[in-house]
Amino acid sequence: MAHHEHDHDFHIPGNSLWSPLSCIGVGLLAFGLIAYLHAASFGMPQLVGTVMMLNGAAITLFGAGKWMYDLVMESRERGFDKKVEVLDIANRYGMLFFIVSEIMFFAAFFAAYFFLRSHAFVWPPENIFTLDIALPTINTLLLLTSGATITIAHHALMDNDMLKAKNYTFLTFTIGFVFLGMQMLEYSHALFDMDSGVYGATFYMLTGFHGFHVLVGSLMLVAVWKRMNNGDFSPQQHFYFEATAWYWHFVDVVWLGLYLTVYLM
């Protein structure tokens, strides 16, 4: 956080423990997963991997939470009455590159799905009883609705109608959590799992990772709503809201791709 005057628009962050701590947590989480999945190869019980993952998750959440808190404090110190163009451009490029990396992440799974499908004699395999399309259709309507509500909230924020912005943001993340509940209900009716050949593996990797992104996006919206209630945004300065809205629209588009390819096709 900056505690002194400067003659430029760049933000030079001070020393922070939270970013390296978060990296250590993520590393411990990843190595814990490897140790859990290959416990026999390492000659150790799976409990070791489980403990590593739990500790890694705790360290990651704690470090990322404190890191986020420092960022919020920095933005409050800088104020919300004007937009610093250099910082705004840097934030926008950073979020854009992040979303592009997410696009590549899902593109790899879609490519695997289409490759396996094109080389299979029968798709889905004969031993797979596919899920009914009713719940995915409802979830599609839910996410399309949430895309509209977050857009309404954004326009309300730009018009300085904070009450409307807060209400529609609340509605958006509520729809997100309902979507997750519906997806859990869908999984409970599935007659196959990740061990059910390549179809089960690709189905759960695609839909499961998307569900994780919906969870992350919903939590981001909760943070947006809380910051709105704290008066953290203005019509001129609200990039965190915009970044979250971009992420949410990305999640919507990915689901449309999943609905068309995994369920309808």
Return the pLDDT at 10: 62
C-alpha 167/C-alpha 13 separation (Å) is: 34
Q: Helix or strand or coil: residue 13?
A: coil
Nearest residue to 189 via CA among 131, 125, 133:
131
What is the structure's pLDDT at 91?
Answer: 81
CB 25 within 8 A of CB 59: yes
Segment 29-40 shows an average pLDDT of: 88
Q: Residues in the chain, how many? A: 265
- What's the CA gap between 95 and 40, in Å, rounded? 40
The terminus-to-terminus CA distance of the chain in angstroms comes to: 51
Residue 225, class by beta-carbon neighbours within 10 Å (0-12 exposed, 13-18 middle, 19+ buried)? buried
The share of the chain scoring above pLDDT 90, in percent, equals 51
pLDDT at 3: 47
d(CA 199, CA 128): 8
The mean per-residue pLDDT over the stretch 26-34 comes to: 92
Amino acid at 30: A
The residue among 239 and 168 whose pLDDT is bigger is 168
Residue 4 scores a pLDDT above 80: no
Looking at residue 81, its pLDDT comes to 64
Cβ contact 150:245 at 8 Å: yes
Per-residue HEC secondary structure of 68-127 comes to HHHHHHHHHHHCCCCCCHHHHHHHHHHHHHHHHHHHHHHHHHHHHHHHHHHCCCCCCCCC
In single-letter form, the type of residue at position 177 comes to F
Domains and CATH numbers, the chain: 1-78 (1.10.287.70), 82-264 (1.20.120.80)
Per-residue model confidence (pLDDT) at position 122:
77
- pTM equals 0.82
User: What is the average per-residue pLDDT within 162-185?
Assistant: 95
